[in-house]
A and B are shown apart, each in its own frame.
Chain A
């Protein structure tokens, strides 16, 4: 007895489909679930898998033809078998083209699973949803495989009624179950219609919602690609900037960092009077030695001192251990027009303030000129971002992976502070440390910041 390949109903409002391509030819062997043709509707492109193993005996509908859902498209059987074109059972009216849950007047009706369901070769296993206590009990009592039972409850749930109906239907011999459906025999008229107009039994290709009561079209059949064309088309008045290059890399890095490390920020403020005094006193000397002495140099130097005092900040998380980096390589975030780049001052602890100032000048200049070498942006163990240059008071930057922390320096502002219970005006700056809480706890981070603050405020 050959098996029919049926045009499925690929969605509730979809009533027909077009055979776009036969993947197998007549005479080809097929395994159960092998894709044998491609079908196209205006909503979905799908591959149709074979309902049985055997040989593709006959293709009934040529490529390019549009047929109603439920139409027999091909026949599969054993090699050498004569294909049975006139159909081998009376049409089962309720499986063709209409969602079983709506009755003639649109009133909700319960879908009674047909006895054909019991004959189905084991359908793909589906998520049965919630099995209520009574359904579980009945299934056990009757030794049922609930995979075979259609669910008519909410969300496709198998209800007690569904199970009882299934049990009753199983006990009735298949041929007698639906006497009402034996229509005035259409076999005479059927033979006059082209084969693809003859509706099929459809038990294996009934719409997913009817077979299992759940899922979207194509969920079981596979390859139903949602075409998000609608969301991709920008409105005609919008501009769009393609994401590529630096922007893309930054985006990827930021997402990765946020997703990997639990970020916590602690905020300190420091009085830069001592640093400013030192800077004023030494700027001319540094200029003669070829370096512009900026606040950044002091921040880096102070950071080095603090990292030496609290070495765990200069580390990396390695899942089952924390790596304490021996070198102190400080990355400097440099803002560029199209993004930012982080050149690294290698072995910053070996450099004097003059050496740091020189290197900072050099790296910044070459960053903006796009003249950095590849290994100049690698190997950093700690990063400083001087976001105050653009006016920011304090911020919570994203950690530069795989480092443990990033230091943010805000804009320096004269502020009113209280010293010895008197009001004073001092050049203050907010310093923030955003750290990876896997490695550090707040107290340790604060200890580092305390040392940093000490280094800056006590500059000689």
Chain B
């Protein structure tokens, strides 16, 4: 086991996959010579050369479009979108082409594509460097959506994503790139896409989260433990497909559910989780299913105090946990 940051784990995962499979290549803005604006691909250009780590033009639609073409052709592209906020020009390629190719060709053609993008706020990024976009894509059958919350998961899930024959969107919580540190197993391992993980077992209430929010939930759960409330924390990890059995098992145990996500509240990913719980765990519920998320505001504010007001943090999450526990 080695301790490393989230970004280091991602880089390791890319490195290992590039080494393992010649068909794998990376493309995106500034990924090559610059090593990525977050240094996710640092050193890989030197190690694998310009035909495996490709600097693309500033054109997201073609980053993804070329990736789709390459994948159809038999390669294993890992496309980077520099900030998830810029994925929108590529939306048509992702939703109309990548997602539907397998279905539309009656299973003859697959798109084994990974699209990586840093997402989320809390880094004073303002409107166009802070967005959460997972809700748009988790809504489209034909895509997989994965969001790691720990270095070990980031590396393991990324490797699984590269090997998956489906298009996988891999969103990385950028605030946690250097903030989230953890132990990563030595040697070859993958984390399967699909299962959620109970990261803290508890009895009083269940909290479902992913990305940076899951990291905060663990902190909030510690606060509540000191107050005598035992919180079960579940890291969803794979947003689509949804790990319903894990979600329902946790709610059946505790009877209370809180879903935390940093995206806007309305129509965010957590709304679907809440709906699943209300639908399929109804007779186990001892309290209404609660969601905690960002206010329905058009953008993540740039000014620090406004950003603090907007963003969730361990205190706000702890408050929501307390309220639910007291119900």
Q: Which residue of A lies closest to B285 (CB)?
A: A133
- Within B281-301, which residues are at the interface with A (CB < 8 Å)? 282-287
Minimum CB–CB distance from A140 to chain B (whole Å) comes to 10
Is B286 within 8 A of A135, CB to CB? yes
| Interface assignment of A137: CB less than 8 Å from any CB of chain B | yes
Q: How large is the interface on B (under 10, 10 to 19, 20 to 34, 35 or more residues)?
A: 10 to 19
User: With A107-B228, A134-B255, A160-B255 as given contacts, are A153 and B327 in contact (CB-CB < 8 Å)?
Assistant: yes
Is A160 within 8 A of B326, CB to CB? no
| Interface assignment of A58: CB less than 8 Å from any CB of chain B | no
A107 to B227, CA, bound (A): 9
| Interface assignment of A190: CB less than 8 Å from any CB of chain B | no
| Interface assignment of A157: CB less than 8 Å from any CB of chain B | yes
User: With A107-B228, A160-B255 as given contacts, are A133 and B282 in contact (CB-CB < 8 Å)?
Assistant: yes
Q: Which residue of B lies closest to A103 (CB)?
A: B228
A107 to B326, CA, bound (A): 13
Q: Which residue of A lies closest to B229 (CB)?
A: A108
Is B326 within 8 A of A153, CB to CB? yes
Minimum CB–CB distance from B202 to chain A (whole Å) comes to 13
Residues of B within 8 A of A109 (CB): 228
- Within A132-173, which residues are at the interface with B (CB < 8 Å)? 132-137, 153-154, 157, 159-160
A107 to B228, CA, bound (A): 10
A137 to B284, CA, bound (A): 8
User: With A134-B255, A160-B255 as given contacts, are A154 and B283 in contact (CB-CB < 8 Å)?
Assistant: no
Minimum CB–CB distance from B198 to chain A (whole Å) comes to 19
A108 to B228, CA, bound (A): 9
Residues of A within 8 A of B327 (CB): 153-154, 157, 159
Please, what's the 1-or-0 string for B243-287, where 1 marks a CB less than 8 Å from any CB in chain A?
A: 000000000000100000000000000000000000000111111
Residues of B within 8 A of A160 (CB): 255, 286
Is B326 within 8 A of A134, CB to CB? no
Q: Which residue of B lies closest to A110 (CB)?
A: B228
Is B283 within 8 A of A134, CB to CB? yes
A133 to B280, CA, bound (A): 12
Please, what's the 1-or-0 string for B215-246, where 1 marks a CB less than 8 Å from any CB in chain A?
A: 00000000000011000000000000000000
Q: How large is the interface on A (under 10, 10 to 19, 20 to 34, 35 or more residues)?
A: 10 to 19
Minimum CB–CB distance from A270 to chain B (whole Å) comes to 56
Q: Which residue of A lies closest to B251 (CB)?
A: A134
User: With A153-B327, A154-B326, A154-B327 as given contacts, are A133 and B283 in contact (CB-CB < 8 Å)?
Assistant: yes
Is A134 within 8 A of B228, CB to CB? no
Please, what's the 1-or-0 string for A101-136, where 1 marks a CB less than 8 Å from any CB in chain B?
A: 000000111000000000000000000000011111
A153 to B325, CA, bound (A): 9
Please, what's the 1-or-0 string for A63-92, where 1 marks a CB less than 8 Å from any CB in chain B?
A: 000000000000000000000000000000
A452 to B283, CA, bound (A): 68
Residues of A within 8 A of B285 (CB): 132-134
Using a Cβ cutoff of 8 Å, how many contacts connect chains A and B? 31
Minimum CB–CB distance from A241 to chain B (whole Å) comes to 50
A134 to B281, CA, bound (A): 9
Residues of B within 8 A of A107 (CB): 227-228
- Within B307-327, which residues are at the interface with A (CB < 8 Å)? 326-327
Minimum CB–CB distance from B227 to chain A (whole Å) comes to 8
Of the listed residues A109, A132, A157, the one surrounded by the most CB atoms of chain B closer than 10 A to its CB is A132
Q: Which residue of A lies closest to B323 (CB)?
A: A154
Q: Which residue of B lies closest to A162 (CB)?
A: B286
Residues of A within 8 A of B228 (CB): 107, 109
Residues of B within 8 A of A136 (CB): 283
A280 to B217, CA, bound (A): 90
Minimum CB–CB distance from B205 to chain A (whole Å) comes to 11
Of the listed residues B227, B284, B286, B287, the one surrounded by the most CB atoms of chain A closer than 10 A to its CB is B286
User: With A107-B228, A160-B255 as given contacts, are A133 and B326 in contact (CB-CB < 8 Å)?
Assistant: no
Minimum CB–CB distance from B49 to chain A (whole Å) comes to 60
Residues of A within 8 A of B287 (CB): 132
- Within A187-234, which residues are at the interface with B (CB < 8 Å)? none
Residues of B within 8 A of A135 (CB): 286
Residues of B within 8 A of A154 (CB): 326-327
Q: Which residue of B lies closest to A157 (CB)?
A: B327
Minimum CB–CB distance from B260 to chain A (whole Å) comes to 21
Minimum CB–CB distance from A214 to chain B (whole Å) comes to 15
A169 to B200, CA, bound (A): 29
Q: Which residue of B lies closest to A137 (CB)?
A: B283
Q: Which residue of A lies closest to B254 (CB)?
A: A160
A178 to B283, CA, bound (A): 32
A136 to B282, CA, bound (A): 11
Residues of A within 8 A of B255 (CB): 132, 134, 160
Residues of B within 8 A of A137 (CB): 283-284
Of the listed residues A107, A133, A135, the one surrounded by the most CB atoms of chain B closer than 10 A to its CB is A133
Residues of A within 8 A of B284 (CB): 133-134, 137
A187 to B255, CA, bound (A): 44
Residues of B within 8 A of A134 (CB): 255, 283-286
A434 to B202, CA, bound (A): 67
- Within A314-372, which residues are at the interface with B (CB < 8 Å)? none
Minimum CB–CB distance from A44 to chain B (whole Å) comes to 28
Residues of B within 8 A of A159 (CB): 286, 327
Minimum CB–CB distance from A158 to chain B (whole Å) comes to 9
Minimum CB–CB distance from A226 to chain B (whole Å) comes to 29
Minimum CB–CB distance from B254 to chain A (whole Å) comes to 9
Residues of B within 8 A of A153 (CB): 326-327
Of the listed residues B255, B282, B284, B285, the one surrounded by the most CB atoms of chain A closer than 10 A to its CB is B255
A157 to B324, CA, bound (A): 13
Of the listed residues A107, A154, A160, the one surrounded by the most CB atoms of chain B closer than 10 A to its CB is A160
Minimum CB–CB distance from A406 to chain B (whole Å) comes to 51
Is A132 within 8 A of B326, CB to CB? no
Minimum CB–CB distance from A84 to chain B (whole Å) comes to 40
A109 to B326, CA, bound (A): 10
Residues of A within 8 A of B282 (CB): 133
Minimum CB–CB distance from B148 to chain A (whole Å) comes to 33
A108 to B325, CA, bound (A): 12
Residues of A within 8 A of B286 (CB): 132-135, 159-160
Residues of A within 8 A of B227 (CB): 107
Q: Which residue of A lies closest to B256 (CB)?
A: A160
A160 to B205, CA, bound (A): 11
A154 to B287, CA, bound (A): 11
A137 to B326, CA, bound (A): 20
Could you write out 11 A-B pairs with CB less than 8 Å apart? A107-B227, A107-B228, A132-B286, A133-B285, A134-B284, A134-B286, A135-B286, A153-B326, A153-B327, A157-B327, A160-B286
Hey, which bits of chain A sit against chain B, CB under 8 A?
A: 107-109, 132-137, 153-154, 157, 159-160
Q: Knowing that A132-B255, A135-B286, A153-B326 are A-B contacts, what are 6 other residue pairs whose CB atoms are under 8 Å apart, sorted by A's residue number?
A: A108-B326, A132-B287, A133-B282, A133-B286, A134-B255, A153-B327
| 3 closest A-B pairs by CB | A160-B286, A132-B286, A160-B255
